[in-house]
């Protein structure tokens, strides 16, 4: 049984993330969407809110589970015995960064295997950072995030 991890902060989860999740789920028996918890990072959504949203938007994919973790990615991968870690690539900048991360993680855990999936061309500009900036300036993120997430963003920004 092949078990892969797709990790990130998912603050918020985007249609780009969803594309990677849907495609990665076809490559393994189980895909865990792992939310990295970093207490020093200010997030728009709490870990519990992210878990709930990701569960809702991935409910149609039978082999997807959601978890959260803190600490080193390599430790989590070793402890949970993942066969691979899926990473989405949008640009050559992403590739350079992800290659460095893959190498350091392989140094920390010698069985660490990275699997890179290219973003679909129409999603290469979609990132959680861009979404948060658009929201900050009261822009419209419809079509960039799943509808469930859009509703949660509206609730959070109307307070």
User: Which of the residues 41, 138, 155, 159 is marked catalytic?
Assistant: 41
Token pair of 95 as six digits = 């590739």
User: Which of the residues 7, 9, 17, 87 is marked catalytic?
Assistant: 17
Is residue 41 part of the annotated active site? The answer reads yes
Is residue 90 part of the annotated active site? The answer reads yes
Q: What is the radius of gyration, based on Cα positions, of the chain? A: 15
Q: How far apart are the first and last CA of the chain?
A: 45
Distance, CA of 34 to CA of 21 (rounded, Å): 11
State the angle between helix axes of 147-157 and 47-57 in degrees (0 to 180), rounded to the nearest 10: 150
Is residue 93 part of the annotated active site? The answer reads no
- Looking at residue 121, the DSSP 8-state letter turns out to be G
User: Which of the residues 23, 90, 120, 132 is marked catalytic?
Assistant: 90
Catalytic sites, residue numbers: 17, 41, 90, 128
């Amino acid at each position: 049984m092949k078990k892969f991890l797709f990790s990130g902060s998912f603050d918020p989860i985007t249609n780009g993330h969803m594309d990677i999740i849907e495609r990665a789920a076809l490559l393994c028996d189980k895909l865990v969407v792992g939310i990295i918890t970093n207490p020093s990072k200010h997030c728009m959504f709490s870990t519990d809110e992210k878990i709930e949203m990701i569960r809702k938007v991935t409910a149609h994919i039978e082999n997807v589970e959601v978890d959260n973790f803190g600490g080193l990615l390599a430790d989590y991968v070793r402890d949970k015995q993942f066969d691979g870690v899926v990473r989405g690539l949008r640009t050559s900048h992403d590739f350079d960064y992800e290659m460095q991360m893959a190498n350091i993680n392989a140094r920390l855990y010698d069985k660490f295997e990275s699997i890179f999936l290219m973003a679909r061309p129409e999603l290469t500009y979609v990132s959680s950072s861009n979404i948060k900036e658009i929201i900050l300036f009261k822009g419209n993120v419809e079509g960039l995030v799943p509808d469930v997430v859009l509703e949660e963003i509206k609730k959070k920004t109307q307070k």
